[in-house]
Every structure is written in C-alpha cells, then in structure tokens.
Chain A
Amino acid sequence: MSVFEESMFNAPVAGQGLTEELGSTPWQHPPQYTTVDEAMNFYAERIMSPNFKEDITDVMELGVPLTTLANSLQLGAVMQGKHTIDVGVLVTPVIVEMLSYVGDAAGVEYNTGLEKEEVDPDKIKDSHIALAMQKVKKKMKEAGETVEEPSVEPQEEEPVEEAPAGLMARR
C-alpha cells in the first residue's frame, strides 16, 4: 500500500467535524479580545516577556521566517479563542514588526520571509525528483512492467571467533 493510500485511510470521515458538541472548542465561543487594539496589547505583553524572548530568538537563529512565526502565533491564539481570524490576520504585520524588534535588540540575524531565496540552477528540488519518479512508475505500470522496489535482505553475520581471554589462555 502506498503512502498516499495509507494517509487517505487515516483521514477523518466526512462530517466528523460536526459530531462534536457545539461550543466544546474555544473558537466556538466569543473571542476574548474583540478589537485590534486589545489583540495588539495581548501580543505586546506576550512577546516582550523575558521567557518568550529567549525562546523566540532561538527559533530565529534557526532560520525560521518571522512571517511564519507570526502566522503560527496568531493561529494558535485563534485556536485558544483569544481573538477571531480576521483580527489575527490584521494584527500579523504588527507581530512581525515586534518580532523583528526583539531580534534587533538581541542582535540576532533573522529572516523576515520577504527575502528572495537564492536559487541554485544546478540543484534539482527533491519534490521535482519525487514527481518525476512518480511519472516514471505510472508509465511503467501502464506499459505492463513491474516496478522493482529495492529490497533489503537480511545478511547473515559471520560468526566471529572469540579470542581466548584470561590468565591461563594460550597465545
């Protein structure tokens, strides 16, 4: 069974999301912060807290774009019922600016997410290779050829004679 088929069977059943009781999740309740001002204050307090600063600078150093961080922060807050999605989307530029301020203050080199990636013309993307492999497999199936998966057979280990040890052992 291919990975795609497996993941298809693990997917939720159609309508499963409607089986939960209404109001059982935080985002089904009225949000805690209804205006952009309140949401900005919430993020300012959170981002400027010392513990958060340390964690976020570590993530910035790893090269995670600030826009991605801001997006995940606001999505998390939406899931917690802090504010609505539209308020979250409106606030994201401010979150990115706050994060860049924290990065500047800590002296960390960060990536905002707007920088253009340097494309190496000699390097082929992994996704392109996978796509090409999929096409080849499909064509081979259509042609009636069997695709041989590289099998790894367990190899027998050669018994290693143990060298005699001890005081009375002959050498």
Chain B
Amino acid sequence: MITNPAKNMYSKALSDVRKKDIKKPEPVKKTGLLQRNMQQASEESKGSEPYDIVLDAMNQIITERKKLKNVSV
C-alpha cells in the first residue's frame, strides 16, 4: 500500500499538539540523596528542537484558524 509521508507526519504532529496542550504536573522529590525538582529538569531539557518549533507553529496556526471561524460565525 502506498502511503503519503505527509499524511503520517501530519497525523502524528496533530496528536502531539493535542498531547502538548494537556500538561501533567511533574512529581517533586524532596527527600533522599537524589533530591531534585523534576519540573526544573523538564524545563532544562526544553530546547528549541526543530520538531518543537514545528509544533509551536502548528499551534499558532490552529489558534488563528479558530479565531477565523469565530469571526465568520
């Protein structure tokens, strides 16, 4: 079966954008030797990876589209 790479990529990006919207609270470990705030760690690893830039851009366009639909309705 011939598949369209754009189709696969778009469906994956859409699901990732939706996942990104749902933010889970990170667990905070305050006791023991490995005392570490996991939230801080996740913020540290947040780099501007190309895929993250793509997801951000998608999010922006999706919000613009929603605005457009609200205006037209």
Chain A residues in contact with chain B, CB under 8 A? Answer: 35-37, 40, 65, 67-68, 70-71, 74, 87, 89-98, 100-101, 104-105, 107, 112-114
Is B34 at the interface (CB under 8 A from chain A)? no
**Choice from B9, B12, B61 contacting A98 with Cβ under 8 Å:** B61
Which of B10, B50, B62, B64 has the most chain A CB atoms inside 10 A of its CB? Answer: B10
Excluding A37-B53, A93-B9, 13 further A-B contacts by CB distance (< 8 Å) are: A35-B50, A36-B50, A65-B4, A65-B7, A67-B4, A68-B4, A71-B6, A92-B9, A92-B10, A96-B10, A97-B61, A104-B65, A114-B11
B65 touches A94 (CB 8 A): no
Is B14 at the interface (CB under 8 A from chain A)? yes
> Chain B residues with Cβ under 8 A from A96's Cβ?
6, 10
Main secondary structure of the interface of B (DSSP, over half): helix
Chain B residues in contact with chain A, CB under 8 A? Answer: 4-7, 9-14, 50-51, 53-54, 57-58, 61-62, 64-65, 68-69, 72
A94 touches B9 (CB 8 A): no
Main secondary structure of the interface of A (DSSP, over half): helix
Leading 10 A-B pairs by shortest Cβ distance: A93-B13, A71-B6, A97-B61, A36-B50, A67-B7, A92-B6, A67-B6, A93-B10, A70-B6, A96-B10
B53 touches A92 (CB 8 A): no
The CA-CA distance from A35 to B6 in the complex, in Å, is 18
The CA-CA distance from A8 to B53 in the complex, in Å, is 44
* A160, chain B: closest CB distance, angstroms: 53
B68's closest neighbor in chain A, by CB? A104
> Chain B residues with Cβ under 8 A from A104's Cβ?
65, 68-69, 72
> Chain A residues with Cβ under 8 A from B62's Cβ?
97
